Amino acid sequence: MKRILSLLFLALMYGVGVSMGADSTLRLDYVLGVSAGKPVIMLHEAVKMPGWGGRCVNLDSAVAQGNGQVRVTDARSGKLLYVQPFSTLFQEWLCIPGSDTVGVSFEHTAEVPLPDGDAVVELLLFDRRGDVECRHVTRYSPADVMVREVKRPSVPMTVLHESDHQSPISVAILAEGYTEAEMERFYDDARKFVDEVLGYEPFCRYADRFRFTAVALPSGGSGVSIPHDGLWLDTPMGSHFDTFGMERYLTAPRIWDMYTAADAAGAVHIMVLANTDEYGGGGIFNSYALTAAHTPQVGPVAVHEFGHSFGGLADEYFYEGEVIDDTYPLDVEPWEPNITTLADFGSKWEADSASEMYEGGGYRAKGIYRAAYDCRMRTNESPAFCKACSAWLERMIRYLTEE
């Protein structure tokens, strides 16, 4: 009831939501690719469904820029109704030399509160300097018969950690590579993930604002694809190692199917547990986190990847004498809160002296700085997030749950 009243209040304020106390979602599935050497966005389908699993506060403000944003505006007044920052694997692909000549496509899903009137939904992708690189505009009308209504899917699931907050942060934990016979193991793995995340500050302090739901998606076989071992398996989200030639980079290309599973749980934050003992993982801001569930380091790796997907935190590790790519131009301040090029350090963490900055981060040994010598975003050995990351995560939690 609290959530419905909150949504009704937002509908009056922003014109977002539907009447009669019901809350709903507009889901847009996109294809991201390259045409004539430039990135392009194509709409695959738009549907509407009952329920809304995202934030119910601060709808018209973004806590971070992200590498892209979905924006909803009133078609008549142009007033911003909703904005959500995100990042994509596609943009990481664009950092690879020669990627603009290869015909590869990536799936992307954006979910927004269903507007109760005519609205414009704009999907923006930014380049490495933060400038708009490409955009797609969809005009939505409640009368549009081509936006079909669908029911949320029915999938076996269990709520592992409940919240009575009026605007809870809903996290779906999805099974990847578990057979029907292995589902009890999946639920056990999911419980361990919840316990691990809620053991870290600031998550433990705000544990009552999180809802974690384990979604049991069965696979025909056990495990996930490991291309460097010649192993390819058909799993619900198609997860595989060796992304972009990096053996440990574990990602999932079937984003539409992933979001359909998360929709069943009414969640927009996603953690995928891969049934494998091969070391690896990946995390993409406001998209998903994915980790190998059966390695000795699964706890710290899972929290690290959740730091990426939930908090938009950057990697703080680096390689001496090596630059992986030009992800972070040194004359541009990264939008990620835990690293800086000093181009606009005033927008980052508070530092009383130069000793509170350590050179090396964002894959570069020189020119990028972090706030602490060690952190969960740097090594598996660190027992906690650094002060800068912890402060940002707290800000994120409060942004998602407080006016």
The 3-state secondary structure of 10-41, one letter per residue:
HHHHHCECCCCCCCEEEEEEEEEEEECCEEEE
Token pair belonging to 164: 């009575």
On whether both 161 and 42 belong to a single domain, the answer is no
Q: Measured between alpha carbons, how far is 65 from 347 in angstroms, rounded to an integer? A: 13
Select from 149, 165, 195 the last residue of a domain: 149
What's residue 355's pLDDT?
54
On whether both 135 and 173 belong to a single domain, the answer is no
Whether the bond into 97 is cis, omega within 30 of 0 = no
What's residue 22's pLDDT?
45
Amino acid in position 350: E
**CATH number of the CATH domain containing 114:** 2.60.40.3250
What's residue 325's pLDDT?
58
Q: State the pLDDT confidence band at 103, using cuts at 50, 70 and 90.
A: confident
On whether both 292 and 202 belong to a single domain, the answer is yes
Select from 107, 125, 149 the last residue of a domain: 149
Task: Identify each DSSP E strand in 219-311 by its residue range.
Answer: 269-274, 281-284, 288-292
Token pair belonging to 332: 């541009």
Section 229-253 average pLDDT: 97
Select from 312, 345, 368 the last residue of a domain: 312
On whether both 136 and 201 belong to a single domain, the answer is no
On whether both 144 and 162 belong to a single domain, the answer is no
On whether both 218 and 284 belong to a single domain, the answer is yes
On whether both 49 and 107 belong to a single domain, the answer is yes
What's residue 13's pLDDT?
44
Q: State the pLDDT confidence band at 400, using cuts at 50, 70 and 90.
A: very high
Domain presence at residue 328: no
Q: Is-contact 108 90, C-beta < 8 A?
A: yes
- Say how many domains are in the chain: 2
Please indicate whether residue 357 or residue 66 has the higher confidence score (pLDDT).
Answer: 66
To the nearest 10 degrees (0 to 180), the angle between helices 298-311 and 387-401 is 50
What's residue 6's pLDDT?
52
pLDDT at 21 over 80: no
Section 148-163 average pLDDT: 96
Whether the bond into 156 is cis, omega within 30 of 0 = no
Residues 6+ apart with CB under 8 A from 71: 80, 82, 83, 121, 122, 124
Report the share of the chain in percent with pLDDT over 70.
92
Please, what is the Cα angle at 32 between 83 and 172, to 5 degrees? Answer: 55
pLDDT at 253 over 60: yes
On whether both 140 and 277 belong to a single domain, the answer is no
On whether both 58 and 74 belong to a single domain, the answer is yes
State pTM to two decimals: 0.93
What's residue 353's pLDDT?
53
Q: pLDDT tens digits, residue range 261-310?
A: 999 999 999 999 999 999 999 999 999 999 999 999 999 999 999 999 99
Owner of token pair 């009137």: 117
Q: Is-contact 161 172, C-beta < 8 A?
A: no
On whether both 70 and 187 belong to a single domain, the answer is no
pLDDT at 14 over 80: no
Section 182-207 average pLDDT: 98
Q: pLDDT tens digits, residue range 29-84?
A: 999 999 988 999 999 999 999 999 999 999 999 999 999 999 999 999 999 999 99
For 242, the domain range is: 157-312
**CATH number of the CATH domain containing 289:** 3.40.390.10
